[in-house]
Amino acid sequence: MFADELLWLKENYPEMVDVDKFNEIRRKYLQGELEIAYEGEIQSLKQTKYMSSYNELKAIEEGNGLPSGYFQKTGIELGKKGKLGMIVLNGGVATSYEKELGYRPTKGIFQAIMDTPISFIAIKLHSIYQFQKAGILIPTYFMNSPVTDKDTMEYLAKFNNFNLQIKPVCFCQDLGWPRIDPQTGDVIMRKSGQASIVPKGHGDIYQAFDRSGLYDEFIDKGGEVLLICNVDN
């Protein structure tokens, strides 16, 4: 049964590049071979400190004896030398808007400021454009999902890539893996006849960027540092 299922997945979901790996993990799960991550092993995650404001960044500078504005100045210098790039995590779908709007929009092109046509992508690329006016060119990469890729590329083309000298490039993450019945391991199907897919979020960003060939291209052009950020913050 699983062999037929794998063949069907490969034929109908070409974006799912790790079908065989999925099947191996499913086999281990059914045989009870998977290791369980106990809470004691992931305590370090709870101690992780995430920056939420420029004031916190300033505090880090002060706490480490760095001059004020060190990180910003370093970023600008990297940009001037062509060593800085940015990856925008644009793969998510804003499901919270679905009931209100009657459809599921691609989050990046959703109206970010009410009563204006300004989107999250527009805000993000406007900041890149401001650096461009100062002579700093920052290559920008959009990581999309198979669901949002077409919408995003059409949106960028519609607005002429927001007049950026370096055209933003899109790359696509893996589709995700099918949900399985916890007892039988069978792929759970929707009424539409499609497999129920577990989205990856942005967990495969490094593999997806490398698989796209854009990592090698960035390095070959002298790139050294990539800023990774969500499209909506």
Nearest to 75 by CA among 215, 233, 225: 225
The confidence score (pLDDT) of residue 182 equals 87
Nearest to 142 by CA among 216, 232, 219: 232
Query: Average model confidence (pLDDT) for the chain?
Result: 84
Rounded to two decimals, the pTM is 0.76
CA distance 128 to 168: 10
Whether 37 shows a pLDDT value over 60: the answer reads: no
| Amino acid residing at 15 | E
The confidence score (pLDDT) of residue 159 equals 94
**128-187 pLDDT tens trace:** 999 999 999 999 999 988 778 888 999 999 999 999 999 999 998 877 788 899 889 999
